[in-house]
């Protein structure tokens, strides 16, 4: 397991609240899964520092990943290997949080999401639209 539990930063929480209002999706874990997957699909390595854990939104790995916990972990590990970062627990945990943060930031950008349909469109490769 990459992490047992994690807390979102206050800015991440505020961004997710805005995303929730635009999409109508009320579950933090579902929005976080979408954000993680969007970031993992990007070819670049997310940069920056680990986001602070200063909000009151805390999630267990099992709540975040649900029945697909092993799959999410394998994807994150493989992405770390592909990015030549290694796949030790500390590295995987760090890049999990960086990918999650990047995805949340993307979806909270002003013109990215206006509805749940925009969220669904983001899952389809651009050449298929």
pLDDT at 43 over 90: yes
What's the pLDDT score for residue 52? 82
Q: Which long-range contacts (CB under 8 A, 24 or more apart) does 117-125 make?
A: 118/22, 118/23, 119/23, 119/25, 119/34, 122/34, 122/38, 123/34, 123/37
How much of the chain exceeds pLDDT 70, in percent?
96
pLDDT at 111 over 90: no
Tell me the mean pLDDT in the region 61-65. 96
What's the pLDDT score for residue 49? 80
pLDDT at 85 over 60: yes
Residue spans of the domains in the chain: they are 5-128
What's the pLDDT score for residue 126? 63
pLDDT tens per residue, range 12-40: 999 999 999 989 999 999 999 999 999 99
What's the pLDDT score for residue 50? 80
> Top-level CATH class of 5-128?
mainly alpha
What's the pLDDT score for residue 128? 58
């Amino acid at each position: 397991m990459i992490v047992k539990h994690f807390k979102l930063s206050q800015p991440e929480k505020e961004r997710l609240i805005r995303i929730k209002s635009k999409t109508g999706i009320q579950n933090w874990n579902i929005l976080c899964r979408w954000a993680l997957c969007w970031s993992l699909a990007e070819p670049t390595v997310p940069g920056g520092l680990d986001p602070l854990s200063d909000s009151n939104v805390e999630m267990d790995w099992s709540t975040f990943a649900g029945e697909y916990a092993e799959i999410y972990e394998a994807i994150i590990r493989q992405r770390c290997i592909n990015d030549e970062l290694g796949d030790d627990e500390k590295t995987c945990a760090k890049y999990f949080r960086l990918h999650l943060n990047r995805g949340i930031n993307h979806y909270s950008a002003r013109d990215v999401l206006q509805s749940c349909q925009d969220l669904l469109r983001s899952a389809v490769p651009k050449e298929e639209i």
